[in-house]
Amino acid sequence: MSRVVAADDNMSLPFFSPEPSSGTSSPSFAKLLKNVGDTRIGHNHQHHVDVDLTSQSADRSVPFVLSFNDLTYSVKVRRKFTWRRVPSDPIVGASSESLYSSKTKTLLNGISGEARDGEILAVLGASGSGKSTLIDALANRIAKGSLKGNVTLNGEVLNSKMQKAISAYVMQDDLLFPMLTVEETLMFAAEFRLPRSLSKSKKNLRVQALIDQLGLRNAAKTVIGDEGHRGISGGERRRVSIGIDIIHDPILLFLDEPTSGLDSTSALSVIKVLKRIAQSGSMVIMTLHQPSYRLLRLLDRLLFLSRGQTVFSGSPAMLPSFFAEFGHPIPEHENRTEFALDLIRELEGSAGGTRSLVEFNKGFRQRKAEPRTHTTGLSLKEAISASISKGKLVSGATSTTPSSGSNLVSTIPTFANPFWVELLVLAKRSMTNYRRQPELFGIRLGAVLVTGFILATMFWQLDNSPKGVQERLGFFAFAMSTTFYTCADALPVFLQERFIFMRETAYNAYRRSSYVLSHSLVALPSLIILSLAFAATTFWGVGLDGGLMGFLFYFLIVLAAFWAGSSFVTFLSGVVPHVMLGYTIVVAILAYFLLFSGFFINRDRIPSYWIWFHYISLVKYPYEAVLLNEFSDPTKCFIKGVQIFDNTPLVAVPQGMKVRLLATMSKSLGMRITSSTCLTTGYEILQQQGITDLSKWNCLWVTVAWGFFFRILFYFSLLLGSKNKRR
């Protein structure tokens, strides 16, 4: 990886310096990238890095040594609910039955070893041997208190802040945005992880150099792709995933199965890239399933695990003598790692398991112990300070070496960029991704327009009769609930990004608050367009009251409903891990909201033990707001004279009989009621519906407040639910 100093724009970048590296140390990453540039120019843009990946100086100084001692980690297996008979209780005098307790499974059992700067440590073993668990333990991805033993760097325990600053973790799955190009993906990673003090042009130069080193020049302008969009190959995707996590030049690089699912050529290409990264001054620790002979030549140290225990630890060159002394010599033309893994599986299936191999390994390591001449005696602070002064970024640290009395951790910021920079970059990335999938918004807009058209034609130009009042109530209830249901498409948005978000925030690429706010801002333009389309389609078609000002308020309340619904669904996406389960919950809860909104049953008739649901119903407030907007005119009449009989069995009697009935009622009531007498105004309809507590503007503000409330809950769900650590 490139060595870039976080300095002012006038300072030249180290990896563009023409000065050769001195001493006998391995070539720096800066030198490698300079070679990439020279090779690119000299070979007519054929971006090929020709570096000796296997040569290492015997007397090379090793500033960093990661040591792990007696790592032990256990988990409780799910309790099995089976019954067993217990003896009779002498006091109670009767036998009883009870559940037996859960058992504990040990995933790591006293694992020890070390990894060195400039080398690749590969952890091997069969499925379930504890490979990924060990990587998680070394990468501080196991909760405190659960892991026993200690992990130290240069003899010092790493705190969480320092660990995140100097390390990176590449997951087994390639978690990438499908509609971004390779270059854009790496550029966004640079925007997140590199300090703001580094200019945009220098960040771009760093990305271009990294593209060359990763061998991605031919695919730089190609989108990542997914099942529905053709993109880059599997090997290129894996290298892009690695590039994202090494953009900030980590000292420690952890990888979980980096060659999983790749063909042999792609796997070899990935390991060569990792070898160059190690030789640039980083420490590479990864799990491998079954490396080929060509891959084995690039590895410096091997650690074989079997059921959480170490069965071999050392260099690949030690494998023949190890198994020969154990009594199982490796055949001359057989792959060493395949032979070792097959023998381990065979022993696991035997009566004694791999206990004999574990004990033999302990004795072998004592006999073949390597002299500790590789260390320089540097403290962790001195080693990191030296790396920063040589150009290591350390996730935003400056090249100024702290004085002996200062605290190195305090010089390393928790986040490389301020809040507003993160907000802009996140919003730009989301907009770029959405802009290249216009069909998603087009389908949603089409659904809203079709729904609005159907409603407008079904409720076309409603009159002011009693039937018109009932039809208005039905239209408003359906329209407001529809705005919430159309927001359900927001559910898979975060579910698709969940693991990308967890990967990026695990090492402080950006703040969770930045993500939540950018997520909200990016959603607003589409919500405004959808609200305007729905309001314009239905307001004049249905014949709603209020003129231009009535339409503007109607548009605002529809927008507020979209906002609250989108926020609610977004919050659920942060809590519910599966799309189908999320849709089920959304549909069910929105149905309850509609039930308790006041349309099907007035507030006064809702049982007291359910009244609380009425007040938390998201549909209640926009429904009441549009009713207030429609029926707030005190001069507008909705029931006149004989219309009083429209919703009664008397509606079928002749008109003359209705007039005589009105005359009889007039004599009984002592007031004259004619066919033109207004009997019910809009305000009286609101009273009948029990809508008198809040004004329409208060209903609007409450709906908007619900949206902000669920966005805050979404933030806390990310804060509490995205801890990417084992328990």
pLDDT tens digits along 173-190: 888 999 999 999 999 999
Residue 58 pLDDT > 70: no
User: Comparing 620 with 579, which gets the higher pLDDT?
Assistant: 620
Token pair for 546: 């209020």
Which residues are CB-contacts of 721 (< 8 A; sequence separation ≥ 6)? 574, 575
pLDDT in tens, 610-663: 999 999 999 999 999 999 999 988 888 888 888 788 878 887 888 788 888 888
Q: What confidence category does residue 572 fall into, taking pLDDT thresholds of 50, 70 and 90? A: very high
What is residue 702's three-state secondary structure?
A: helix
User: Comparing 368 with 216, which gets the higher pLDDT?
Assistant: 216
Least confident of 65-74, 278-287, 365-374, 693-702: 365-374
Residue 193 pLDDT > 60: yes
Looking at residue 41, what is its pLDDT? 30
Residue 56 pLDDT > 50: no
Token pair for 197: 């003090």
Residue 89 pLDDT > 50: no
Mean predicted confidence (pLDDT) in 683-689 = 87
User: Comparing 15 with 246, which gets the higher pLDDT?
Assistant: 246
Tokens 């018109």 locate to: 468
| Residues 336, 319: Cα–Cα separation, whole Å | 7
Looking at residue 409, what is its pLDDT? 52
Which residues are CB-contacts of 348 (< 8 A; sequence separation ≥ 6)? 126, 306, 307, 354
pLDDT in tens, 475-521: 999 999 999 998 988 888 888 888 889 888 888 889 999 999 999 99
* DSSP of 266-282: HHHHHHHHHHHHHHTT-
Residue 200 pLDDT > 70: yes
According to CATH, what is the number of the domain 65-75+103-365?
Answer: 3.40.50.300
Mean predicted confidence (pLDDT) in 412-441 = 89
Mean predicted confidence (pLDDT) in 313-336 = 90
User: Whole-model pTM above 0.85?
Assistant: no
Residue 236 pLDDT > 70: yes
Q: Are 469 and 637 in contact (CB under 8 A)?
A: no
| Residues 521, 557: Cα–Cα separation, whole Å | 18
Least confident of 165-179, 308-322, 426-440, 612-626: 165-179
Looking at residue 102, what is its pLDDT? 62
* DSSP of 98-162: EEPPP-EEEEEEEEEEEEETT-EEEEE-STTSSHHHHHHHHTT-B-TTTEEEEEEETTEEPPHHH
User: Comparing 396 with 487, which gets the higher pLDDT?
Assistant: 487
Residue 132 pLDDT > 80: yes
> Taking CA 298 as the corner, what is the angle to CA 212 and CA 338, rounded to the nearest 5 degrees?
130
Looking at residue 154, what is its pLDDT? 85
Looking at residue 389, what is its pLDDT? 67
| Residues 526, 291: Cα–Cα separation, whole Å | 49
User: Comparing 326 with 79, which gets the higher pLDDT?
Assistant: 326
Looking at residue 569, what is its pLDDT? 94
Least confident of 106-110, 190-194, 386-390, 401-405: 401-405
Q: What confidence category does residue 208 fall into, taking pLDDT thresholds of 50, 70 and 90? A: very high
Mean predicted confidence (pLDDT) in 41-54 = 36
Kindly give the interhelix angle for 512-542 and 438-458, rounded to the nearest 10 degrees: 30
For the chain, domain boundaries? 65-75+103-365, 419-641+677-722, 642-676
pLDDT in tens, 268-284: 888 998 998 888 888 99
- HEC profile for 607-666? CHHHHHHHHHCCCHHHHHHHHHHHHCCCCCEEEEHHHHHCCCHHHHCCHHHHHHHHHHHH
Instruction: Label residues 424-448 b or e (16+ Cβ within 10 Å = b).
Output: ebbbebbeebbebeeeebeebbeeb
Mean predicted confidence (pLDDT) in 86-109 = 59
Looking at residue 305, what is its pLDDT? 93
| Residues 55, 53: Cα–Cα separation, whole Å | 6
Q: For all residues of the chain together, what is the average pLDDT?
A: 81
Mean predicted confidence (pLDDT) in 139-162 = 84
Residue 395 pLDDT > 80: no
Residue 577 pLDDT > 50: yes
Looking at residue 45, what is its pLDDT? 36
Q: Are 722 and 505 in contact (CB under 8 A)?
A: yes
Q: What confidence category does residue 44 fall into, taking pLDDT thresholds of 50, 70 and 90? A: very low
Q: Tell which residue, 289, 238, 175, 148, has the closest CA to residue 724.
A: 175
Looking at residue 369, what is its pLDDT? 66
Residue 72 pLDDT > 70: yes
What is residue 189's three-state secondary structure?
A: helix
Looking at residue 46, what is its pLDDT? 37
| Residues 423, 663: Cα–Cα separation, whole Å | 71
pLDDT in tens, 295-307: 888 999 999 999 8
Which burial class, exposed, middle or buried, applies to 219 when counting CB atoms under 10 A from its CB (0-12, 13-18, 19+)?
A: buried
For residue 108, which phi and psi values (nearest 5 degrees)? -130, 135
Say how many C-beta atoms besides its own lie within 10 A of residue 157's C-beta.
Answer: 11
| Residues 123, 131: Cα–Cα separation, whole Å | 6
- HEC profile for 306-320? ECCEEEEEECHHHHH
User: Comparing 53 with 581, which gets the higher pLDDT?
Assistant: 581
Looking at residue 63, what is its pLDDT? 79
Mean predicted confidence (pLDDT) in 157-172 = 83
| Residues 260, 287: Cα–Cα separation, whole Å | 10
User: How many residues belong to the chain?
Assistant: 727
> Taking CA 662 as the corner, what is the angle to CA 468 and CA 635, rounded to the nearest 5 degrees?
45
Mean predicted confidence (pLDDT) in 520-545 = 94
Q: What confidence category does residue 366 fall into, taking pLDDT thresholds of 50, 70 and 90? A: confident
What is residue 90's three-state secondary structure?
A: coil
Residue 218 pLDDT > 50: yes
| Residues 64, 259: Cα–Cα separation, whole Å | 26
Residue 43 pLDDT > 60: no
Q: Are 168 and 507 in contact (CB under 8 A)?
A: yes
| Residues 483, 643: Cα–Cα separation, whole Å | 33
